Amino acid sequence: MAKVSVIMPVYNTNENYLREAIGSILAQTFTDFEFLIIDNGSREYIKEIIASYKDSRITYYRIETNCGPAGARNYGIERCNGKYIAFFDSDDIALPERLEKQVAYLEQHPETGCLGTSAEFFGENSKGMHFCDAKKHKDIELHLILGGCVFCQSSVMVRKYVLDTYHIRYRDDCVPAEDYGFYVDLIGKTEFRVLEDVLTYYRFYNANTSNQRKLEQAAKSLFVRHTALTSFAGQLNGKAELVFKLMQNMPFTADELKNLGTAITELTDVLAVRGHSKEDVLQILKRDFRKMYYHTRTLCGQWNLLTSPLNKIFNLPLGWRLMCLITRGIL
């Protein structure tokens, strides 16, 4: 059996992008891997492209009726034999040392079961885009619970026994944020880590999922955040929904803002038990609170925000708050 199973679903991928992706896996410096290509109901040309490669490490599977991205990855998980599973998308690029460096790290750190690499965006409209910079376990876990997805899906390697032991698979109810849901389900089961080295290039272009299903992906990401909040931060004596409302950047009444302060204090206490500092929790939630100023377009709403005790908790400057009052509440 190969040590690593690379799982790559394909659905009508541009031929040039697909060949770049396949070539980047076949060019890996680490060679003890099987390469499972899951054709998820694509047009006939995909089969012809895969057939043009004569590398014995490639195993081609075809699903006649498209079963979605979660189903295709789960199909691969059920059929792979490696100790480690490396996930990869059919339009991205893996740098030559990706598998080698990830295997070396996992061999030396048995406590880590989900390992990503640093990644860079490339392609049209990708300028200025970047992934979350959380690299250590506690930072990643906290961001998954409160902030959103951390990993570039095409950079992730996991221990297969962790998935099998805890019966973790990709969930259809999280598509098209199924990767985020997958990592949230791993919280408490293993440790996370992201390597500092950039070993993955994520292709961003008009036809990829992040563009085509942007609004749906944002909605599903909120759904996963809500699941994570209620699962790993407790019920907060009924105040969890106020924190979730903050995450959605929805308007608050003056009374709700007062109760939100209490909820955040309780949340920091709950997460402290998991080893997360108050400062780290507030740093993530501060981003959401600042967004409330941007999304509030009434004088009353801006005044409630301006005078809220939460400004002291999040250390928001008075001058900046007054500017929001003028530009969004008055003008």
Q: Which residues contact 138 (CB under 8 A, 6 or more apart)?
A: 275, 276, 280
pLDDT digits (tens, 9 = 90+) for 168-217: 999 999 999 999 999 999 999 999 999 999 999 999 987 776 667 888 99
Residue 24: per-residue pLDDT: 98
Phi, psi of 322 (to 5 degrees): -65, -35
Does the pLDDT value for residue 249 go beyond 90?
no
Question: pTM, whole model, 2 decimals?
Answer: 0.94
**Identity of the highest mean pLDDT range in 83-87, 122-126, 242-246:** 83-87
Residue 210: per-residue pLDDT: 66
pLDDT digits (tens, 9 = 90+) for 126-168: 777 889 999 999 999 999 999 999 999 999 999 999 999 999 9
Instruction: Identify whether 176 is preceded by a cis peptide bond (ω within 30 of 0).
Output: yes
How far apart are the two ends of the chain, measured CA to CA in Å?
67
CB 35 within 8 A of CB 55: yes
Does the pLDDT value for residue 233 go beyond 70?
yes
Residue 211: per-residue pLDDT: 67
Q: What is the mean pLDDT of the chain?
A: 94
CB 156 within 8 A of CB 115: yes
Does the pLDDT value for residue 37 go beyond 90?
yes
Average pLDDT over residues 219-239: 85
The CA-atom distances, in angstroms, between 106 and each of 109, 116, 157, 190 are: 5, 11, 9, 12
Q: Concatenated DSSP letters for 41-52? A: S--HHHHHHHHT
pLDDT category of residue 28 using cuts at 50, 70 and 90: very high
CB 97 within 8 A of CB 175: no
Residue 126: per-residue pLDDT: 72
pLDDT digits (tens, 9 = 90+) for 253-269: 889 998 999 999 999 99
